[in-house]
Amino acid sequence: MNSDAAVLPEPAVRGSFVGEAEAYELILRSGLEPPRHAVIGKPLPFAAGEPVVLKGLGEELWHKSEAGAVEFMTFAVTPVITAAHMMARRVEDAGHRWIGALVCERIAVAHADGLPSEGFVSLARGEAGWVVLCGFGGLQADALAAAAPPLRWPLALVQPADALAELKAHLLGRIWLGRLRGTTPLTTEPQLAEFIEAVWRLAALAETDGINLLEMNPVVLDEIGQPRPVDAVGRRGAMPKRRLPPPGAFLPALRHPRRVALAGVSEKPGGVGRVILENLCRCPALAGAITLIKPGQAELLGLPCVPDVLALRAAPVDLLVLALPAPAAAAVLTALIGQGGGASVVALVSGGLGDGADVTGLGRQLEEQLQEARAAGRWTPTVLGPNFLGHWVPALQLDTSFIPAEKLTPPRSTGGDLVLLSQSGAFLLCRRSRALRLRFGLGVALGNQMDAALPDFLRALARESECGAVAAYVEGFGPGQLLATAKAAQRLHERGIPVLMHRAGRTPAGHAAAASHTGAMAGDWDLEQTLLQRAGVKLSASIAAFDAALEWLGTYPATPPGPVALVTNAGFESVNASDLLAQGLDAAVLTPAAKEELAALLVRHQLNTLVNPQLPLDLTPMASEDAFLAAVDLVLGSAALLIVGLVPFTRRLNTARPDAAPFAAALAKLAAKHGKPVAVAVDAGPDYDGYRSAFGEVGLAVFDRVESALLGLRTLR
């Protein structure tokens, strides 16, 4: 067919905007089938009288119908070209540079009577890698999304088979497959499977072509059930620069340092460096293994000194702590990188590097030095901080923080396999102060994560055997960190290691507050949530939920699935627990035989006239410790996990510290006998802290309320 050169074809030089004609070329290569089409100015493969759609293409014209750039016609060369000339004027009047006119076949679309049947698919590449959105399309897409939100598939974590299963369960998929009452199928599962696999291929092709956004809306089903994109636009952009992570074997230097160096110690007490030194000296494993960097002195406070980091080249340390002002710390780190060795891990205590106080760009320069050295294959240390508040290994009594010892009570636990990572140093210290009994193996304040960041720690933890559970407090993700965090968390999840996370700074106000002291990055919370949850991360809705879940993890890293039971001596706990168990937890139920056994138990303990033999079980204040133990033994046979509520004001309970120990030990013995977690909730004031401690000391999870125990459990489930 002839065409008219006065209607301009698409330009040869590609801009950032990807018009429909260019998008169709990519879609065809993926195996998807857009409409037959051609740009005016090239041969038009349509017969006279054939139904077609004329579309005007304009730079940054995402919604053509709003600019009068869509027209349904029967094909004839002259009318089509005339209409294209008029369309060009409308597009330019709307403020868009004219690209050209596209003629497309008008596809015969399959419809579901009275139901929406158009879909949309969007592919976007960002901090989560490639993410596909799939849901209702067409003009009413926004309204339909409120009733049936689009599916979100991060391609790094979702396989096409998983996506197909989710689409089949979505309202759009059920309409397409005829799985609503009174509907007939418009397509088949194999056709949808082929469509989804083609979308995965399309993402790979788009990345190769430098495209980071591609939207197909609407996607319709033709008369044979084939999904067909009948409009598509996108955007081309620079791909994120690849971040080279720090050396992978840095955890041993933190967990078990053999030699440590410290710069920034003063002879006067009270300074940051001096307090760090005092804390280091309390670690028996570091006796005779601490070196100070102090120019002009051979010894300080009984410890050997070296003039600079050059001396560490011949005698490397595992950990170098720089308690120096930002410019001095940057100079030391630059020298260390330049000399090619001296410390496996460097901790930058000061701020002013890469944050709001860094007016000269020192932090950026250090990052560039690290990345350039790694790109060239040269040695670099792993760098912690800036704003590194310290790390903590209870088993070694190792503490690198600048918090004086008198401000923190020593932990009651001698160590364990729970790891706590925090972007906020204060958050780490608060958890450390509140959870003295939990069996922490390692706690690290990540600081501003100029180099070593959360995903690096998670990757390292996934490779070691000393980690049983990970809890993390995060205020934002830097470039490239979100997807890396999800992938690392997925590795931990696959190993059976739980990952609990509280993501603060989810709202604009919270982000602004976080950025003011950590430089945290804003993010799309819905996307972050989807990505992290698919990776197996348990996200807490509040600090209270985080702390409650942390109590469970610190006592029972693997909280099993299955029904939850409550045995209490307070009616309000029983009633409240019934409400809470209905919110996402499976409540245990007694079998008829177990009910009979419980009824007999209540008779033996003279509680039968007071207590209803059902769960949750309210034993009333008249229950003795023996009655509690007998009930716990029975109920554990019907539950995967048990919470024991002990309101302590009754004389039937021995709440004085020495007298409580036998009851606590007996409860712990029953938990071990059944191999099931048991938690104790003591809802009372500080007078009963000693009573709570008795249960914690025998390895039971302890809470101040039944509600807190259930909140933490729901977070982990």
Length of the chain in residues, anyone? 717
**CA 342, 348, 352, 353 torsion-angle sign:** positive
Q: What is the mean pLDDT of residues 80-95?
A: 96
Mean pLDDT (the chain, rounded): 92
In the 8-state DSSP scheme, what is residue 207?
H
49 domain residue, yes or no: yes
| pLDDT band (50, 70, 90) for residue 508 | low
How many domains does the chain fold into? 5
Residue-level pLDDT at 507: 58
How many Cβ atoms from other residues are within 10 Å of residue 619's Cβ? 24
Residue-level pLDDT at 8: 44
Q: SS3 of 457, please? A: helix
Q: What is the mean pLDDT of residues 60-85?
A: 95
Phi, psi at 485, each rounded to 5°: -65, -45
Q: Are residues 123 and 46 in the same domain?
A: no
Which of 77-86, 157-166, 519-528, 565-574 is least confident?
519-528
CATH code, domain carrying 259: 3.40.50.720
12 domain residue, yes or no: no
Of 409, 421, 416, nearest to 438 (Cα)?
Answer: 416
- The strand pair at 303-306 and 290-293 is best described as parallel
Contact 209, 16 (CB under 8 A): no
Q: Show the domain range for 146.
A: 119-236
Q: Are residues 450 and 545 in the same domain?
A: yes
Q: Are residues 658 and 578 in the same domain?
A: yes
Which of 104-113, 131-140, 301-310 is least confident?
131-140
Q: Are residues 552 and 602 in the same domain?
A: no
Contact 350, 321 (CB under 8 A): no
Which residue among 105, 133, 162 closes a domain? 105
CA distance linking residue 679 with residue 707, whole number of Å: 12
461 domain residue, yes or no: yes
Host H or E run for residue 314: helix 310-314
pLDDT in tens, 446-476: 999 999 999 999 999 999 988 999 999 999 9
- The strand pair at 538-539 and 499-503 is best described as parallel
Q: Are residues 151 and 260 in the same domain?
A: no
113 domain residue, yes or no: no
Residue-level pLDDT at 658: 87
Contact 443, 428 (CB under 8 A): yes
Contact 303, 297 (CB under 8 A): no
pLDDT in tens, 289-320: 999 999 999 999 999 999 999 999 999 999 99
**Burial class of residue 686 in the structure, from the number of CB atoms within 10 Å of its CB (0-12 exposed, 13-18 middle, 19+ buried):** exposed
CA distance linking residue 376 with residue 673, whole number of Å: 58
